[in-house]
Amino acid sequence: MIPVSVNRSEIETGIPAVDASGLPDYVSDAEFRESAARERREKLRMFLTNWQGLTGLILVTLFFASAIFAPWLAPYDPNALDVPSRLSGPSWEHPAGTDQLGRDTFSRILYGGRVALKIAAIGVSVALVVGLILGMIAGFGPRWLDNLLLLLFDTVRAFPTIVLALATVALTGPSLGMVLAIVIITSIPQYARVARTATLTLRNTDFILAERSLGASMSRTLLHHVMPNVVGPLLILAAMDVPVVVTVEAGLSFLGLGVLPPTASWGTILNEGYLVIRDAPWMVIAGGIPLILTTLGFTFLGEALRDIFDPRMGKGR
Amino acid sequence: MPKDAIAGSEALLDIRNLSVDFRTPRGRVKALRDVSFPIRKKRIVGIVGESGSGKSTVLWALLGLLAKNAEVVAGEVRFGDRDLLHASEPQLRATRGEEISVVFQDPMTSQIPVLTYGTQMRDVLYRRRNASTAEKRRMAVEMLGKVGIPDPDKRIDQYPHHFSGGMRQRAGIAMALLTGPQLLLADEPTTALDVTMEAQIIHLLQDLQKELDATVVVVSHNLGLIAELCDDVVVMYAGEVIEAGDVREIFHNAQHPYTRALLECDPARIDDVSRKLPVIPGDIPDLTRSLSGCIYAPRCQRAMPICREKTPPDVARGGMSLARCHLLDGPHHDTAWPPPLDVTTVGQGEASARKPARVRRDDPLLEVTDLNVQFETVGRLRARLKGIRQRHVDAVLDVSLSVASGETVGLVGESGSGKTTLGRTVLNLVQAQAGRVRFEGQDTHNMPESRFKPLRRDMAMMFQDPVGSLSPRKSVRALITEPFQIHGVTGVDLDAEAERLAEMVRLPKPFLSRYPHELSGGQARRVGVARALALNPKLIIADEPTAGLDVSVQGEILNLMANLQAEHGLGYLIITHNLPVVRHIADRLAIMYLGRIVEEGRTAEVFDRPVHPYTRALVDGVPQPDPDRRRKHVSISGEVPSLLNRPEGCDFAARCPLAQDRCRTGKPAHVTMADGRRHACHFPLH
């Protein structure tokens, strides 16, 4: 049903004021609880019947589980050398074959997942938090600060990640910490941009003005009233950002700029496999599959979440 | 259905047994159930109802433009020999625009901002293959002239943002009529407009309908508009047609208890301002549940046991009149129903709304003197480069006003009059350029926030948008108790305070754990009141306290505010454009026009003997909910000028029917009359 009057806040903030479905005005509390529970069940049902959402959830769970439980799941020590059976093809003993030093590729992939998870978890969460804070300050603070921060974000974004990484590594030498730092610095701007735009639209809404009229301080307004409304889209962005971070890590490691051998990482596996691609193609294939699946999983999950929580962006049901 | 008899030749469109469901995460909402009524040729038909009544759903169902989660369960819509509900999309597309067209609520969002009116109107005529572009343009210019747009041949090349709100709605009507449709649908055509514009649009629609012999359907919640404009009226409640008939029948001889109650709740109909406003207790039923009996029974004053069990009959009374009620026919027929018009059927409220005479005018709580607020329009550098000398507009100009404890002052004006800016300046949310704001004798304007903060405990603001002014991710409990945390009030039990405040605004306790989007407008408004009252303020500035509320609910909020005032001696500054409401609650009125107060005085006097021609136009401009009191002429023409080109002389001169040369050259000063009223007019009416 079309509401009687145009709800300004709805237009400005994109937060639906009243469910536009003609939900009745007053209902008793029990009925309300019941219908709220029904809505939650329905949302869950929508998520689970959405093939993207379900596939994404399964792949992401698989990624987390395999990385966390790698020491128990891995049949061999990832760094244990077994030179006699080097470059052996897939078999029951070595499901994904062995590399040129005879290390079990499957075990190395599981351990490589740990590196990917570590980079993704730390990189994305630090970038999200810093981006959120900077974005809210840019959106809520004075105009000059906004301009200054925007200039900073755009400068960072203008740098190609790989070139930045090459330059930094040339100065400091490759390490896991360096990869992390590069990943964080290059992804902060996109979080900050989204947070800033959301804050700007919230800034002039009635409820922020209402907080000011009550005497709420700026930090209180930002922390209690702006942040909860900004963080949602950022979380969805984060889900979609994980594959980017994982690929950047793999890419840098592939180039020898990231994780140092002998530590197993999907990038180093690909690198080592690339050298022997004619003799042992399974290494490149086995190293690429988890990368593809993780990327797909997080992308599907992010899109499904966005469809459900922000139906306006979705295909429309 | 007895209507079928008349539906044949006379009806342009016949809606039969229309039922529509919405699939929502909360279950199926049975939004329309068995809706049937004819739309007679060459009549203006009004569909009236409160929010959730399904009135707009009917409109979109006719056009096949329902939301994607809607499902037409049953029914048909006969339009000539076609059934629109089951027509194919190409057929519907051929019908929409050509035979049935729509005027939307908000011309701002329904017109294309990047195309000129000429292009948009040419597009409307895209089916006329044999007409040349020049021919189409000629038709468009002619239609723009017809809807009262001056210089149509020049203005047709302008964009929507060049037009003012009222002009835009006129252009919207022109676009809808361009194809010469048989049926014009108007969805809340005046809701986004000011009172004076509303009157103009009403007359325009009436004139055009006569001239073009068109059939018009108007959907509105505004009883005044319906009474003023329509020939036939359909009253909807919670997805059902509960009464239909000739406009005079509905307004003078309403049969259904709901129609009766709705009319009685309209403040414009209640002349006795000493009584509290009536309300219809209860709420619209949950349409996701299975329904039995009369849909209105839970709120009906005359409900009988049978009402909850058996669906009442549609009792016809000749013509297209019918009402759906057990009182009118069958074993429970009551010959004494409906009672005469002067008998009230809804609760009368407490006998007196007069508050104890505790108003102390000599010692005002709030005193605003010669306040000026300017907004920068052009940056300093750009102004220098472009040679613009006037870098500011005066949003508030030389305003003086006072509010005493226990007093209610109404600040009335159209949009752009600066009334909201004034309210915000008082609360130090906007900087003032000149003048003084005193609160309890203390100079407060432009005070640094650190010094002003303690004063915020004593003055609170209620915002226009009840839901939008509540932080969306906070529970009601957190929202209500937030003032205590902001001001570091310690030693109070926050849970107990939340319950006390909820009790005070009569919000049931379970609501404390809900979130703003889970509240209705009325409930959200209560939360707003509770928040404002949390720290026992002395002054409340209420911006459109009844905006977005249904007629049957707004009385509740106003009565609540009046009770709280009597109890705590609060001073209210009520900012509104709603004259009928302010007449009931305000002790004094200040009328604002283009940032200046043009008249100020006691409410009754301002209404009975307006001094300023603008005040008189406003008072006359309110549509009366009585089809026998239709206005013959529009009391005021034109629109509020832009602040950017404030007239040289009196701001109102361009629209004033009594303007003389002096008005166009010199600004009238504020004059205090013998009886204490103030005005700014060279030629006062009294």
Q: Is A24's CB within 8 Å of B286's CB? A: yes
**Model confidence band, residue B6 (pLDDT cutoffs 50, 70, 90):** very low
- Among candidate residues A87, A119, A103, the one with its CA nearest the CA of residue A261: A103
**Model confidence band, residue B571 (pLDDT cutoffs 50, 70, 90):** very high
Beta bridge partners of B368: B401, B437
Q: Is A214's CB within 8 Å of B531's CB? A: yes
Residues of A in contact with B514 (CB under 8 A): 32
Q: Is A16's CB within 8 Å of B517's CB? A: yes
Give the closest-approach CA distance of B141 to chain A in angstroms.
Answer: 30
Render B430-479 in DSSP notation, one character per residue.
Answer: S--SEEEEEETTEE-TT--HHHHGGGGGTEEEE-SSTTTTS-TTS-HHHH
Render A223-255 in DSSP notation, one character per residue.
Answer: IIIIHHHHHHHHHHHHHHHHHHHHHHHHHHHHT
Q: Give the per-residue pLDDT at A149.
A: 94
Minimum Cα–Cα distance from B31: chain A residue? A22
Overall number of domains in chain B: 1
Asked if residue A296 lies in contact with residue A278, where contact means CB atoms within 8 angstroms, the answer is: no
Helix axes A143-158, A176-203, angle to 10 degrees: 140
Q: Give the per-residue pLDDT at A249.
A: 86
Residues of A in contact with B540 (CB under 8 A): none
Give the closest-approach CA distance of A247 to chain B in angstroms.
Answer: 35
Domain for residue A315, yes or no?
no
Of B105, B282, B520, the CB nearest to A6: B105
Q: Give the per-residue pLDDT at B347.
A: 60
Residue B21: both structure tokens together: 């469901």
Domain for residue A263, yes or no?
yes
Domain for residue A46, yes or no?
no
Q: Which residues of A120-149 are buried (b: 16+ CB within 10 A; e: fewer)?
A: beebbebbbebbbbbbbbbbbeeeeebeeb
Residue A230: both structure tokens together: 């900004």
Give the closest-approach CA distance of A70 to chain B in angstroms.
Answer: 39
Maximum separation of any 2 CA atoms in chain B, in Å: 83
Mutate to test the interface with B, among A2, A28, A45 (most CBs of B within 10 A): A2
Q: How far apart are the first and last CA of chain A?
A: 17
Q: Give the per-residue pLDDT at A7.
A: 34
Question: Rounded distance, CA B395 to CA B372, Å?
Answer: 8
Residues of A in contact with B473 (CB under 8 A): 225, 228-229
Q: Where are the alpha helices (DSSP H) in chain A?
A: 8-13, 29-49, 51-68, 70-73, 105-140, 143-158, 161-172, 176-203, 206-214, 218-220, 227-254, 266-275, 282-309
Q: Give the per-residue pLDDT at B318.
A: 75
**Model confidence band, residue A315 (pLDDT cutoffs 50, 70, 90):** very low
Minimum Cα–Cα distance from A13: chain B residue? B468
Question: Rounded distance, CA A33 to CA A35, Å?
Answer: 6
Domain for residue B528, yes or no?
yes
Domain for residue B442, yes or no?
yes
Per the prediction, chain A carries an average pLDDT of 81
Percentage with pLDDT > 70 across chain B: 96
Q: Is A38's CB within 8 Å of B57's CB? A: no
Domain for residue B231, yes or no?
no
Render B468-519 in DSSP notation, one character per residue.
Answer: TTS-TTS-HHHHHHHHHHHTT--SS-HHHHHHHHHHHTT--GGGGG--GGGS
Q: Where are the alpha helices (DSSP H) in B11-164?
A: 55-63, 89-95, 107-110, 117-124, 133-146, 152-155
Question: Rounded distance, CA B517 to CA B475, Å?
Answer: 10
Of A2, A18, A210, the CB nearest to B469: A210
Question: Which range (B258-272, B287-301, B559-573, B633-647) has the least confidence?
Answer: B633-647
Mutate to test the interface with A, among B19, B20, B23, B26 (most CBs of A within 10 A): B26
Residues of A in contact with B103 (CB under 8 A): none
Question: Which range (A23-32, A66-75, B8-17) has the least confidence?
Answer: A23-32
Residue B593 has pLDDT above 70, yes or no: yes
Q: If you average pLDDT over residues A275-286, what whole number do you get?
A: 83
Overall number of domains in chain A: 1
Q: If you average pLDDT over residues A112-121, what whole number do you get?
A: 88
**Model confidence band, residue B2 (pLDDT cutoffs 50, 70, 90):** very low
Domain for residue A302, yes or no?
no
Domain for residue B347, yes or no?
no
Q: Is A229's CB within 8 Å of B473's CB? A: yes
Q: If you average pLDDT over residues A278-299, what whole number do you get?
A: 87
Residue B360 has pLDDT above 70, yes or no: no
Domain for residue B307, yes or no?
no
Per-residue pLDDT reduced to its tens digit, B248-277: 989 998 899 999 998 888 888 877 776 678
Residues of A in contact with B285 (CB under 8 A): 24
CATH number of the domain where residue A228 is located: 1.10.3720.10
Per-residue pLDDT reduced to its tens digit, A144-186: 999 999 999 999 988 888 888 888 888 888 888 888 888 899 9
- Greater confidence (B140 vs B330) lies with B140
Asked if residue A144 lies in contact with residue A83, where contact means CB atoms within 8 angstroms, the answer is: no
Residue B338 has pLDDT above 90, yes or no: no
Residues of A in contact with B289 (CB under 8 A): 31
Domain for residue A224, yes or no?
yes
Domain for residue A234, yes or no?
yes
Residue B676: both structure tokens together: 């204490």
CATH number of the domain where residue B545 is located: 3.40.50.300
Q: Give the per-residue pLDDT at B611.
A: 92
Q: Give the per-residue pLDDT at B299.
A: 86
Residue B526 has pLDDT above 60, yes or no: yes
Residue A39 has pLDDT above 70, yes or no: yes
Question: Rounded distance, CA A57 to CA A70, Å?
Answer: 19
Radius of gyration of chain B (CA): 27
Domain for residue B657, yes or no?
yes
Q: Give the per-residue pLDDT at B367.
A: 92
Question: Rounded distance, CA B79 to CA B74, Å?
Answer: 16
Of A9, A13, A210, the CB nearest to B461: A210
- Greater confidence (B401 vs B518) lies with B401
3-class state of residue B545 by DSSP: coil
Q: Give the per-residue pLDDT at A310.
A: 61
Strand B240-246 vs strand B322-324: parallel, antiparallel, or unpaired?
antiparallel
Give the closest-approach CA distance of A45 to chain B in angstroms.
Answer: 10
Residues of A in contact with B460 (CB under 8 A): 213-214
Q: If you average pLDDT over residues B357-381, what whole number do you get?
A: 81
Beta bridge partners of B40: B11
- Residue B664: phi, psi to the nearest 5? -85, -10
Asked if residue A248 lies in contact with residue A266, where contact means CB atoms within 8 angstroms, the answer is: no
Instruction: Using CB atoms within 10 Å of the CB of residue B651, give its burial: 0 to 12 exposed, 13 to 18 middle, 19+ buried.
Output: buried
Q: Is B187's CB within 8 Å of A2's CB? A: yes
3-class state of residue B111 by DSSP: coil
Q: If you average pLDDT over residues B437-452, what whole number do you get?
A: 89
Q: Give the per-residue pLDDT at B456.
A: 92
Asked if residue B112 lies in contact with residue B83, where contact means CB atoms within 8 angstroms, the answer is: no
- Among candidate residues B621, B595, B603, B126, the one with its CA nearest the CA of residue B374: B595
Minimum Cα–Cα distance from B289: chain A residue? A31
**Model confidence band, residue B523 (pLDDT cutoffs 50, 70, 90):** confident
Give the closest-approach CA distance of B24 to chain A in angstroms.
Answer: 7
ipTM confidence score? 0.79
Residues of A in contact with B287 (CB under 8 A): 22, 24
Per-residue pLDDT reduced to its tens digit, B24-60: 777 788 889 999 999 999 999 999 988 888 888 999 8
Question: Rounded distance, CA B462 to CA B445, Å?
Answer: 20
Please give the residue range of the domain that contains residue A199: 77-287
Give the closest-approach CA distance of B387 to chain A in angstroms.
Answer: 25
Select the highest-mean-pLDDT range: A94-108, A203-217, B380-394.
Answer: A203-217
Per the prediction, chain B carries an average pLDDT of 86
Asked if residue A56 lies in contact with residue A48, where contact means CB atoms within 8 angstroms, the answer is: no
Q: Given phi > 0 = left and psi -120 to 50 = alpha, else beta, which region is A240?
A: alpha
Question: Rounded distance, CA B60 to CA A158, Å?
Answer: 48
Residues of B in contact with A3 (CB under 8 A): 51
Residues of A in contact with B461 (CB under 8 A): 210, 213
- Residue B123: phi, psi to the nearest 5? -65, -35
Minimum Cα–Cα distance from A207: chain B residue? B469
Beta bridge partners of B437: B368
Q: Give the per-residue pLDDT at B541.
A: 94
**Model confidence band, residue B412 (pLDDT cutoffs 50, 70, 90):** very high
Q: How far apart are the first and last CA of chain B?
A: 57
Q: Is A15's CB within 8 Å of B517's CB? A: yes
Q: If you average pLDDT over residues A1-22, what whole number do you get?
A: 32
In the 8-state DSSP scheme, what is residue B653? Answer: G
Asked if residue A290 lies in contact with residue A62, where contact means CB atoms within 8 angstroms, the answer is: no
Domain for residue A159, yes or no?
yes
Please give the residue range of the domain that contains residue B668: 366-679
Q: Is B456's CB within 8 Å of A210's CB? A: no
Residue B377 has pLDDT above 60, yes or no: yes
Helix axes A29-49, A282-309, angle to 10 degrees: 150
Domain for residue A106, yes or no?
yes
